[in-house]
Amino acid sequence: MTDPAPLPPHRPTAVITAHGQPSDPAPQERALADLADAVAALLPDWDIRSATLSTADRLEQVTPKGALIYPFFMANGWFTGSVLPKRLHGHDVHLLPPFGLDPALPELACKALATACEARGWSLPRTRILLAAHGSARGPKAAEAAEAFAAAMRHHLPGTDLVTGYVEEDPRIADAARDLAAAKPEHPTLCLPFFAQSGEHVRDDIPEALADASYPGDILPVLGALPGVPQLIADALRQALLGPNPAADKAGRI
């Protein structure tokens, strides 16, 4: 992969960055590059780049002065609050709010749930939803983001049972799945992973927890894989550039 050279300042540049997979960086790096290509197709006058934090020095190498940094993360936690500012110190860039806090994302997720239920012949109001999230031992930001997202989804899905479970804190995914199944065992269930990328937690930890709970339902793709995500990111970048708007107001300069 050849890194693009810095472009004149009149052409906006954005870098989509994600955590990646430290044990095997290449697949997630390629997946993020594919996402950047999809966003670039919607913003033909922009230079859209990508870099995971797991590929050494790539973020610094592809980030020119004045770039917008789009964190493909679910919460404004340790990585967005500490790691990114440290990695990009002195680059004179603008850090946008993370993907998981986009106010348009809950509605996008609800539409995906409706589509999944329709494909299965299920009634969405009768379908129980498990939002499987990461959580964190470092602080409350990850769980706060997941709970706020769950609350927003409940607003769009009145009457639907929706609970949260976590990989790294209580309530654990297995416990949440057991409680959900016990409440209305005759109703179908769907697990929606509150993740941007499909790393080890999604591939291994969530299925293992659900198997431990004898979870009877299906697991949907991660939120970051929803069909409308490239458009959502393109809209956030365009709004941040134009300002003033909520995204721009929350963006930070590094």
Q: Which residue has the tokens 């693009």?
A: 4
Confidence of residue 173 (pLDDT cuts 50, 70, 90): very high
Given a contact cutoff of 8 angstroms between Cβ atoms, the answer to whether 124 and 157 are in contact is: yes
Residue 54 CA: distances (Å) to CA of 78, 86, 90, 126, 247? 15, 15, 20, 40, 26
Tell me what pLDDT residue 137 has.
Answer: 78
Residue 244 scores a pLDDT above 90:
no
- Segment 196-204 shows an average pLDDT of 89
pLDDT digits (tens, 9 = 90+) for 10-65: 689 999 999 998 889 999 999 999 999 999 999 999 999 999 999 999 999 999 99
| Statement: residue 118 has pLDDT above 80 | yes
Token look-up 């009149």 returns 10
pLDDT of residue 9: 54
Torsion of CA 72, 75, 81, 84, to 10 degrees: -10
State which H helix or E strand residue 128 sits in. Answer: strand 128-133
Which residue segments constitute the domains of the chain, with CATH numbers given?
13-101+228-253 (3.40.50.1400), 105-225 (3.40.50.1400)
The whole-angstrom distance between residue 203's C-alpha and the CA centroid of its chain comes to 15
**Helices 105-120 and 229-242, packing angle to 10 deg:** 170
**Residue 79 is inside which H or E element, if any?**
none
What gap in Å lies between CA 115 and CA 83, rounded to an integer? 36
- CB 195 within 8 Å of CB 202: yes
Q: What is the pLDDT of residues 60-90, one digit of tens each?
A: 999 999 999 999 999 998 889 899 999 998 8
Q: Give the lowest-confidence range in 7-11, 41-45, 154-158, 235-239.
A: 7-11
Q: What is the pLDDT of residue 233?
A: 98
Query: For all residues of the chain together, what is the average pLDDT?
Result: 90
Q: Is the pLDDT of residue 220 over 60?
A: yes
